[in-house]
Amino acid sequence: MNVFRPVPGYETHIYDGGKEALFLLFVSFLLAFAFARLYTRQARIRGWGSASIGGVHLHHAVPGLVVALAAGLLAFTPWGTGSPPREVLAIAFGAGAALVLDEWALIFHLEDVYWSNEGRSSVDAVIIGTVLAGILLHTASPFGIDESEYQQSRTLVFALLAVHYLYALVCFFKGKPVVGAVGLLVPFVGLFGAIRLAKPDSPWSRWRYAKRPRKLERARHRYESGWQGRLERKVADVIGGAPSAEPSRNAERMSP
């Protein structure tokens, strides 16, 4: 399709590189999330109603799931192998995935926590999805190194990547999924997150801090009342909106 060919570098790095479908998926993912959050925040402020079927509230994760599954299924058929159908399916999948991840917290908790503190995990899920798509779009690839001529460089790159991914894995166990995801793309971010204290409710905290109460107390202070915890909550509020003082639990107050 070469949709953005007037944009400098697009044809060379995206279209000729065979990444246009992934790029369009990435763009539709971001736009769908932005529109979904914009609508839900306005609906929250203005008291707009929300869609329902037979009196049952229709969360936007439902049509998102249907669209993403349909696009994924069609991508495995002959209709989804050519262009432009492949790019159209990528756009549909990206939009559907954004609607699903925007309500990730509801799916995980199996209750309406969209505007509660637990709902912040939806923002984390979207950020992680954005970073992972960005990694796939990244042009640098260690697999492009000539094995016969640059075997030593290739081995070094793989070793560095392995350490890099290990730091990211530690971040995930320490309850820092966004830092871990960003660390997969940006050097040393994962290392910084891995050597810092784990969040008090993380698996790492349960394994390592159970018999170290002073360290657990430091972690609680840092992420509950310290500047780092306040900064994380502020960023999440800017992206997804501040949580309600009292979480919504009934159908009349469910998020759109």
Q: Encode pLDDT of 203-238 as tens digits.
A: 999 999 988 999 999 999 998 888 888 888 898 888
Answer whether 74's CB lies under 8 Å from 7's CB. Answer: no
Q: What is the mean pLDDT of residues 138-162?
A: 59
HEC profile of 98-129:
HHHHHCHHHHHHCCCCCCCHHHHHHHHHHHHH
Higher per-residue confidence, 122 vs 157: 122
pLDDT band at 183 (very low <50, low <70, confident <90, very high): confident
For the stretch 47-105, pLDDT in tens is 887 778 877 888 999 999 999 999 999 999 988 888 889 999 999 999 999 999 999 99
**What pLDDT is recorded for position 37?**
94
- How many other C-beta atoms are found inside a 10 Å radius of the C-beta of residue 98? 27
Residue pLDDT, tens place only, 190-206: 899 999 999 998 999 99
For residue 84, whether the previous peptide bond is cis, meaning omega lies within 30 degrees of 0, is yes
Q: Using a cut of 0.85, tell me whether the model's pTM lies above it.
A: no
Contact 21, 86 (CB under 8 A): yes
The pLDDT value recorded for residue 55 is 78
According to DSSP, the residues that pair with 53 across neighbouring strands are 56
Mean pLDDT across 119-137 = 87
Query: Side-chain half-sphere of 160: how many Cα atoms within 13 Å?
Result: 12
Mean pLDDT of 168-178: 91
Res. 145: pLDDT tops 50:
no
Mean pLDDT for the chain overall: 84
Band of pLDDT at residue 251, cut at 50, 70 and 90: very low
Q: Check whether 36 has a pLDDT greater than 70.
A: yes
